[in-house]
Amino acid sequence: MRRDVIVAAALLLLAVASAAGVWTLEGGARNFPITMAGLLGAGAVILMARSMLGNPPKGQAEADEAPVAYGRLLIVAAITVGFVLAMPWIGFYPATFLYLAGLYCWLTAMRPVAAVGLAVVLTAAIYVLFGLFLAVPTPGGAIISTLLG
Structural domains of the chain, count: 2
Residues 9 and 77 in one domain: no
Render pLDDT for 73-102 as a digit per residue (tens, 0 to 9): 898 899 999 999 998 899 899 999 999 999
Domain that holds residue 40: 2-64
Exposed, middle or buried: residue 23 (CB in 10 Å: 0-12, 13-18, 19+)? Answer: exposed
Report the pLDDT averaged over residues 47-65. 71
Residues 59 and 102 in one domain: no
Residues 15 and 51 in one domain: yes
Residues 92 and 120 in one domain: yes
Residues 60 and 74 in one domain: no
Neighbours of 116 (CB within 10 A): 16
Render pLDDT for 103-149 as a digit per residue (tens, 0 to 9): 999 888 889 999 999 999 999 999 998 888 878 788 888 887 777 65
The residue from 32, 48, 64 where one domain ends is 64
0.85 exceeded by pTM: no
Nearest to 21 by CA among 12, 29, 33: 33
Neighbours of 147 (CB within 10 A): 8
Residues 74 and 58 in one domain: no
- Rounded CA-CA distance 94/22 in Å is 25
- Rounded CA-CA distance 11/3 in Å is 12
Residues 46 and 82 in one domain: no
Residues 48 and 96 in one domain: no
Q: What is residue 30's predicted lDDT score, i.e. its pLDDT?
A: 73
Residues 83 and 133 in one domain: yes
Residues 53 and 93 in one domain: no
